[in-house]
Amino acid sequence: MRLPRRANDAMLERIAAYWQSQLVFVAAKLGIADVLVEGPLTADEIATRVGAHAPYLNRVLRALASLGIFAADPHGRFHLNRLAQTLRSDHPESLRDFALMLVDDYNWSAWGALEHAVRTGSSAFEHVHGAPAFPWMQEHPEKEKMFSASMASISVMENAAVARAYAFGKMQKIVDVGGAHGHLLATILRSYVRLRGVLFDQPQVIQEAARSGFITSPDVSARCETASGDFFDSVPVGADAYVMKYIVHDWDDAKCIRILDNCRRAMASDGRVLVVDHVVAPGNRFDWGKLVDINMMVMLGSKERTKDEFRQLFSLAGLRLKRVIRTASALSIVEAVAG
Ligand SMILES: C[S@@+](CC[C@H](N)C(=O)[O-])C[C@H]1O[C@@H](n2cnc3c(N)ncnc32)[C@H](O)[C@@H]1O
């Protein structure tokens, strides 16, 4: 029989949750899941392959296995299990890049300044690193590359869910505003074979996009153009829809109004804006969006929004919230038309 959990036990688990993040990070960094693809190995064998101290690694793996990540057998060999599979680099829904990015020292130290953010109402990232996150990343291209790769990796499931949730087939042309390497755009174009798309992002990101291969794949490349620029100045004109995934949550209301206003001016007369973000659930229930909201507070001093907050934001940019479409992922599509 399962004993009722004491409040103290539940609280201790939450207090020490960052131990778990570091354990997963180290497993991802060492590439442990990749060396287990061929079959189970002992900690000594893994340590030799990944370049680690065997007795320490054994303890790390034992702790991870106790959290359901890897599984030890009676012969002391560690196996890949369901959760550990997601740390493989070649897994179709790999979270390895995401783990490497989220627990990287620059994010870790920014989260360490959450208290500063809460006391002052300003970005913890800027407090720690001396510059807002996006300009800082431009100065650290290896981090920017890692960030884009990790966004693409978590996007695999999300993007398929977004493509399925909305009838893009009724349109001729869409723009993915701040579309990074084009994973979402390529997923949508693959699902709607007559649709054309424009991938729009900053010049240095668009340059990398061709190399990452999503928009150059033969089934979409002929229907996909790229354009670079600054969405605070303008976005490509004349499309039926302006898709923005993980964009509006990056900015304060004033900046969002500028981006949304630029989309409204650029879109076809019956065009629409499709904001793909978390829509924060009311009440006390667990909602991944409520945690991502704190990440936005720490990293950018920005936020996730409720439906009412979206409605108000759109109206200030001359748009009208038409509906919120849930997807099979944690994200929703918030559709707006000229108001
Ligand atoms: C959080 S990422 C979202 C990427 C992508 N939409 C996705 O869902 O994976 C934000 C994107 O906005 C782009 N971005 C930031 N500032 C921009 C600007 N001023 N003009 C155009 N794109 C910008 C970044 O380069 C980055 O690709």
Distance between CA atoms of residues 194 and 200, nearest Å: 20
Q: Do residues 209 and 197 make contact, with C-beta atoms less than 8 angstroms apart? A: no
The residue contributing the CA closest to ligand 1 atom 8 is 245
Q: Which atom of ligand 1 is nearest to the CA of 231?
A: 20
The residue contributing the CA closest to ligand 1 atom 24 is 178
- Position 92, amino acid: P
Q: Which atom of ligand 1 is nearest to the CA of 151?
A: 9
pLDDT recorded at residue 162: 97
Full 3-state SS string of the chain: CCCCCCHHHHHHHHHCHHHHHHHHHHHHHHCHHHHCCCCCEEHHHHHHHHCCCHHHHHHHHHHHHHCCCCEECCCCEEECCHHHHCCCCCCCCCCHHHHHHHCCHHHHHHHCCHHHHHHHCCCHHHHHHCCCHHHHHHHCHHHHHHHHHHHHHHHHHHHHHHHHHCCHHHCCEEEEECCCCCHHHHHHHHHCCCCEEEEEECHHHHHHHHHHCCCCCCCCHHHEEEEECCCCCCCCCCCCEEEEECCHHHCCHHHHHHHHHHHHHHCCCCCEEEEEECECCCCCCCCHHHHHHHHHHHHHCCCCECHHHHHHHHHHCCEEEEEEEECCCCCEEEEEEEC
* C-alpha pair distances (Å), 270 with each of 38, 150, 276, 330: 54, 34, 19, 28
Instruction: For residue 287, count other CB atoms closer than 10 A to its CB.
Output: 17
Residue 155 confidence class, pLDDT cut points 50, 70, 90: confident
Q: Which atom of ligand 1 is nearest to the CA of 152?
A: 9
Annotation says 53 is catalytic? no
Distance between CA atoms of residues 108 and 104, nearest Å: 6
pLDDT recorded at residue 174: 98
pLDDT recorded at residue 3: 61
Choice among 129, 183, 249, 278 that is catalytic: 249
Delimit the domains of the chain by residue range: 7-93, 147-338
User: Strand 71-72 vs strand 77-79: parallel, antiparallel, or unpaired?
Assistant: antiparallel
When pLDDT is averaged across residues 4-15 and rounded to a whole number, the result is 89
When pLDDT is averaged across residues 161-188 and rounded to a whole number, the result is 95
pLDDT, tens digit, 9 for 90 and up, residues 104-125? 999 999 999 999 999 999 999 9
User: Which range has the worst mean pLDDT, 9-13, 70-74, 162-166, 271-275?
Assistant: 9-13
The residue contributing the CA closest to ligand 1 atom 3 is 246
Q: Which CATH architecture has domain 147-338?
A: 3-Layer(aba) Sandwich (3.40)
Distance 308 CA to ligand 1 centre (A): 24
* C-alpha pair distances (Å), 67 with each of 19, 87, 291: 11, 14, 21
Mean pLDDT, rounded, of the chain: 95
User: Which range has the worst mean pLDDT, 11-20, 170-179, 202-211, 222-231?
Assistant: 202-211
CATH number for the domain running over 7-93: 1.10.10.10
When pLDDT is averaged across residues 275-302 and rounded to a whole number, the result is 96
pLDDT recorded at residue 225: 97
Residue 148 confidence class, pLDDT cut points 50, 70, 90: confident
pLDDT recorded at residue 325: 98
Residue 156 confidence class, pLDDT cut points 50, 70, 90: confident
When pLDDT is averaged across residues 192-210 and rounded to a whole number, the result is 93
- By CB atoms closer than 10 A (0-12, 13-18, 19+), residue 245 is buried
Q: Do residues 169 and 192 make contact, with C-beta atoms less than 8 angstroms apart? A: yes
Distance 93 CA to ligand 1 centre (A): 22
